[in-house]
Structure 1
Amino acid sequence: MSETKTTSTIHEVKNHVGQSVTIGCWLNNKRKSGKIQFLQLRDGTGFIQAVVVKSEVPEEVWESATKLTQESSMYITGSVREEPRSKSGFELTVEHVEIIQITQDYPITPKEHGVDFLMDHRHLWLRAPRQRAVLVIRAEIIRAIQQFFDDRGFQLVDPPILTPSSCEGTTNLFHTKYFDEDAYLTQSGQLYMEAAAMALGKVYSFGPTFRAEKSKTRRHLIEFWMIEPEMAFVDHEESLRVQEQFISHVVQTVLNKCRAELETLGRDISKLEKIQAPFPRITYDEAVEFLQAAGHEFPWGEDFGAPHETAIAEKYEKPVFITHYPTGIKAFYMKPDPNRPEVVLCADMIAPEGYGEIIGGSQRIDDPQLMEERFKEHELSSEAYQWYMDLRKYGTVPHSGFGLGLERTVAWICGLEHVRETIPFPRLLYRLYP
């Protein structure tokens, strides 16, 4: 009777010390020293070194190991042992190699490659240790986001991706035909989430959004993911408290669960350890005064660009809220400050280290008459937005919400230079492949 083999992943070998296990994996790299081969293996869950000693294995096993090329696939069987010098803390002493495929001429070699080359081969570049680390952290951020809201009584609601109108003007929207009607790919689910909040109290959405913005900066993607909570009976102040607790929770979860991946990226973990609520707050007025004093020619009433946000963020070790922007540069649905109607009850959260705005939020207008006025000012179609007006007509309440851009958040937490590495297959101004 044949013995049943024990299968494992690289991540789980810690549970099999002293045992023989079989792992399905790929060769990441290898080196040879005389009659010993050192195989660097990966299986998606992690990396481990497997050692093949010629005097300890049959000749065919040694030959199989010799044939292996970068990204060749195999089932490898070996004994797990602890190895303090290894990053994983474990090593595999090889007993058997079953080759699945010998890869020929793998295009991404250990040498340096240009960005365009790597982006053209994004489907393969994902296998690199650095890219894997980013995607593992992204997945953990997503889990932390959902856990935060699920544990606090929020309901997940999915707004439509195809919409008949925009929440912030149609300039940067992708237009398509919806049979005989015009439609757009959503740039935000917020208006629909307001309707959901009137039914369910506290809600959040998590899905793709699209901006037809011809921007090539390191902070912009054409397709990206947004988390958009909306909360009935919640004012601007309470919303800010939720936001800072939310970001603290996400960052601390990643620190707890993904320390090895952060180290792979060379991230300065000490900077992330400081991300604990509460966060500093300054008003738009104070931000303008600061910029002018620092030598920026910045008139009151304009929106901040990347250099301005970076200059402000450099003052702080934590994210900073900039509150009370001028009414004229913010969306039509934001509630004016009752004590100063020329500014609105809103805030942008600016991440440290030059990563820019990661959250934008506000208290929403709940006065039907004021919303009517805003519609006229912004020349919005009453017909297209009648359902949105109904939210103020039938049981209006104070409510607030915000939106977090996932990819900018991933870039900040990982310490990445460009958002193109934060999503598996980025959609950029001149890139739709692969």
Structure 2
Amino acid sequence: MDGGFISTRRVKELEPGSRVRVRGWVYRHRDLGRKVFVVMRDADGILQLVADERYTPREYVEEARRATIESSIVAEGVTSRDPRAPGGVEVKLEKFEIVGLAEDFPIKGGEGIDYLLDIRHLWIRSRKMTAMWRIRQSAFKAFREYFESKGFWEVSPPMLTQAAVEGGATLFKVDFFGKPAYLTQSSQFYLEAMIFSLERVWTLAPSFRAERSRTRRHLYEYWHLEAEEAWAHMEDEMRLVEELVAYTTRRILEERLEELSILKRSTEALEPALETPYPRIRYEEAIRRLQGRGVRIEYGDDLGADEERILTQDFDKPFFITHFPVELKSFYMKPDPQNPREALAFDLLAPEGVGEIVGGSERQDDYEALYKQIESRGYDPRDYQWYLDLRRYGSVPHSGFGLGVERYLMWVTGVDHVRDTIPFPRFRDRIYP
């Protein structure tokens, strides 16, 4: 079957009575004697092919009969409408060729998660996983659309760094030609440097954190959407974040209803997030809410996954927690001038128990104040000299945030674990594959 292929963008776009040429992989297979049904999949969906001895040459019927699950195939035939077929359209085969005959596929259904992680390179072909990758692509596209519409510049910071953004305990150390370097926890510092030339910048890149947390929300390597904005205060940045989340969620609902259906995600649960502004509560109010529910927590305690899950029960859309105690937040965050005990910091929590998906703050823009904040955390200011320099030469008020892409997708798609939002998860001290 050499020559130009006639490929189909989506199964539902096929017109009955058209002669088509398609290619893909065997998703389902049934041999009924005189008839062989092959459901194939490609990047856009699934399509039923029918080899029937009444109209398909015998050699191609036999070839269809020989096909195994995940065999790659090329087929030609005429489309016809059939409400029983996936998508309501099938192809009556005139030709059928196996390009790569698959061995017995090791995934039959009902396998445990550890087994599926061991063969992740095959599991990512599944229909649910493919639906996730399409949703992920729509999210990435929407991120770029939104930032371009707001006049932001996309930049490409390095993945290797010498300075810790969130503290040394969660750094992955590497040898850089005999000198220590680290995989980045965040591109924030480099983005802050870039605002002095481009004012509004953002990036979408991997980040690495060696924290020992083993929860359904943690990965050691994840995709990090980060932005920094000159002249912006905390409230400005919160509006930017909520608009970004609302816009991206709307685009996914517009483009990926079929994929959300495959994942059995309720779209009604996402609709409240399309409307902004999102609710805002201060940290002290969050503590009172938790205490009112019987949680043993005091002002000054950090909010963990359990506490965040309880708080999300009060909201049907993402919501902000603001004004955390300065001790709970990073050294670069600016204290509130009206109450220096509180940082001008915010987290955005997704509902339905997902919890934090965005963290952001107004950055400390004064050299002396930042120097003291670095020292107060036990860090050596010499390790942050270039970062301090940004406050010496034309410093301005500025703010920024980071969004964990996989956590956001976990909420949008309704999956139980963040590992299912990324093709090859890095977590639990193992690499798959």
Q: Name which of structure 1's ranges 354-363 and 74-83 shifts more when overlaid on structure 2.
A: 74-83
Deviation at 1:47, TM superposition (A): 1.0
Question: What is the 5 A alignment of 1:32-431?
Answer: 32-109=31-108, 111-276=109-274, 277-431=276-430
Shift of 1:99: 1.3
Q: TM-score, normalised by structure 2?
A: 0.96
- Cα 1:150–1:82 shift into 2, 3 Å: farther
What is the CA distance between 1:83 and its match in structure 2?
Answer: 3.9
- The SS at the match of 1:383 is helix
Count of residues paired in the alignment: 432
One-letter amino acid of the counterpart of residue 424, structure 1: P
| Residues 11, 46 of structure 2: 8 Å contact kept | no
Q: CA deviation at 1:273?
A: 1.7
Residue number in structure 2 paired with 1:29: 28
Asked if 2 retains the 8 angstrom alpha-carbon contact of 1:6 and 1:20, the reply is: no
SS at 1:318's partner residue? coil
Q: Is the 8 A contact 2:163 2:383 kept in 1?
A: yes
Contact 1:10-1:47 within 8 A present in 2 as well: no
Give the secondary structure class of the aligned counterpart of 2:129: helix
Opposite residue 64 of structure 1, the aligned amino acid is: E
Post-superposition CA distance 1:32-82 (Å, at most 9, x none): 345222211011221111122221111111111111111111111121234
Q: Distance in 1 between matches of 2:245 and 2:227?
A: 13
Query: How much does 1:5 deviate?
Result: 6.0
Secondary structure of 1:274's partner? helix
Residue 145 of structure 2 aligns to a residue whose secondary structure is helix
CA–CA distance in structure 1, aligned partners of residues 130 and 189 of structure 2:
35
Q: CA deviation at 1:185?
A: 0.5
In structure 2, distance between residues paired with 1:292 and 1:132: 42
Q: 1:245 & 1:81 partners in 2: Cα distance?
A: 44
Structure-2 separation of matches of 1:85 and 1:398: 62
The superposition leaves residues 75-115 of structure 1 with CA deviations (integer Å, 9 ceiling, x where unpaired) of 11121234445443432221110111221211112x31011
In structure 2, the partner of 1:9 is: 8
Deviation at 1:12, TM superposition (A): 6.3
Q: Tell me the SS of whatever aligns to 2:20.
A: strand
Q: Relative to 1, partners in 2 of residues 1:106 and 1:15: Cα closer, same or farther, differing over 3 Å?
A: closer
Letter in 2 for 1:270: E
| Runs (5+) with no aligned partner, structure 2 | none
Deviation at 1:168, TM superposition (A): 1.5
- Identity score, percent: 41
User: Structure 2 vs 1, CA of residues 380 and 52 (structure 1 numbering), >3 Å: closer, same or farther?
Assistant: same
For residue 99 of structure 1, give the secondary structure of its aligned residue in structure 2: strand
Decide whether the 8 Å contact of 2:14 with 2:79 is kept in 1.
Answer: no
CA deviation after TM superposition for structure 1 residue 256, in Å: 0.4
CA distance in 1, matches of 2:88, 2:236: 45
- Give, as a single letter, the amino acid of the residue that structure 1 aligns with 2:137: A
Give the SS at the match of 1:88.
helix
1:337 alignment partner AA:
D
* TM-score, normalisation: structure 1: 0.96
Q: Partners in 2 of 1:102 and 1:3 — Cα distance?
A: 18
Asked if structure 2 preserves the Cα contact closer than 8 Å seen for 1:334 and 1:364, the reply is yes
Structure 2 Cα separation of the partners of residues 81 and 201 of structure 1: 56
Could you tell me how far 1:380 is from its partner in structure 2? 2.4
Q: Which whole-Å deviations, capped at 9, do the CAs of 1:315-369 have from their partners, x for residues lacking one?
A: 1100010000000110011111111110011110000111110000001111222
Mapped partners of 2:238, 2:100: distance in 1: 54
SS across alignment from 2:44: coil
More divergent stretch after superposition (167-176 vs 17-26): 17-26
Q: Is the 8 A contact 2:287 2:297 kept in 1?
A: yes
Q: Are the counterparts in 2 of residues 173 and 211 from structure 1 also a CA contact under 8 Å?
A: yes
Q: How far, CA to CA, are the matches of 2:101 and 2:6 in structure 1?
A: 22
Describe the superposition over 1:201-253 as per-residue Cα deviations: whole angstroms up to 9, x where unpaired.
10001101101112221110111010000000111111111111000011110
The SS at the match of 1:51 is: strand
1:311 counterpart letter in structure 2: I
Q: Is the 8 A contact 1:10 1:43 kept in 2?
A: no
**How much does 1:382 deviate?**
2.3
**What is the SS of the residue equivalent to 1:275?**
helix
What are the superposed Cα offsets for residues 362-417 of structure 1, whole Å, 9 maximum, x if unpaired?
01111222112112212322222111111111111111100000111111111111
Are the counterparts in 1 of residues 77 and 93 from structure 2 also a CA contact under 8 Å?
A: yes
* Counterpart residue identity of residue 331, structure 1: S
The answer to whether the 8 Å contact 1:13/1:80 transfers is no
Aligned-partner Cα distance in 1 for 2:177–2:199: 34
